[in-house]
Amino acid sequence: MVEHVVIGCGIIGLYTVFGLLEKGIDPKTIAIIAEHHPGDLSINYASPVAGAYFSASADLKLLKYSNYTYQNLVKLETLLGPKCGLGHCTSTEILDDLEVESDPYLNAIGENIDDFEILSPEEIEIISKGSRCAIRYKAWIFNSPVLLEKLCKYYKSIGVAFQRTRLESIHDAFDSDTKVVFNCTGNGSRLLGGVEDEKVFPTRGQVVVIKGPHIDQCISRWNDEATYIIKRPDSASDEVILGGYYQPYQPKKDTADTYGFETESILKRTTEMFPDLLKKNPFGDKIEDLQILRVIAGARPCRECGVRIEKELIAPNKLVIHNYGASGNGYMCGLGMAHEAVSLLD
């Protein structure tokens, strides 16, 4: 008997199932309904292609979600066991828009992150000349396709049902036994009947995946461009994610075009930001020596005014709990978002 339905099989939907299990919900009463499942490739399914790491430079409004996720991901790691797509490394973030002396955000994020430090002006100058602020900390890193697959495999093993279908309306997720439907459809919430949230919009990203056995950390720079290097754990081919782009747009349906000029920009920006990307590359010290495994694009599920986590009675005996709008923060904030969404059952 399915009483709890989760629409969406991205990281937000899968975190939400974990939240239900933590609350003591019988897994045999849970079903995931989604058009796309792990292993699928679609511009409308961003989770498998996400670079995915814990970036401390999230919006202050998301801080409670990222703090919860940071502190509780160890539960997932323990549950799923080794090689589950979760790991740690040192992360350095160059924050060009912040001032060390005056920004309250720095103190707020440092309270809940391990090994957090604000770098001195001398250290910043070595890393990035002209920057005013940089931080370093112990970050969670994710192998997004591996984690998605491991979560689904575990859920299936304990009795969670999976249904592959495209819903035209949120009402279609209900049957006579359904107590609640969790709407974790991301960009789909713009067009899903009964939701049709016009505040939802996609933000395109493009990344370059390289073979980087010499990279053991993450480093990023945030200004008018997003430049980042992300070590991917549990990768047989030593994958490293180089990015990136944040481009609000309306994608063509079911296309994931990538562009050579953007690849060139990503390679230029990342190698300038972190020269060791080339200097320590075992395959050679020129950009053309980087071993590119693939170039991919995805559409992050964004929303004006931020995430939507609220319950709505869409008809008598039809309770919906919305949980979407994470933008590019799904992996780092989603466990906290799921915890809050599930708490609305109380």
- Residues at the annotated binding site? 185, 228, 300, 328
Distances in Å between the Cα of 128 and the Cα atoms of 269, 272, 337 are 12, 9, 34
Q: Count CB-CB contacts under 10 A for residue 304.
A: 10
CA–CA dist 91, 50 (Å, integer): 17
The binding site for D-serine comprises 228
CA–CA dist 176, 270 (Å, integer): 53
- Exposed e or buried b for every residue in 264-302, given b needs 16+ CB within 10 A? ebbbebbbebbeebbeebeeeeeeeebbebebbbbbbbb
The binding site for D-dopa comprises 300, 328
Q: Count CB-CB contacts under 10 A for residue 249.
A: 10
CA–CA dist 179, 201 (Å, integer): 29
Identify residue 208 by its one-letter amino acid code. V
Sheet holding 161-164, edge to edge: 161-164, 30-34, 4-7, 180-183, 318-324, 308-315
8: helix, strand or coil: coil
The binding site for FAD comprises 185
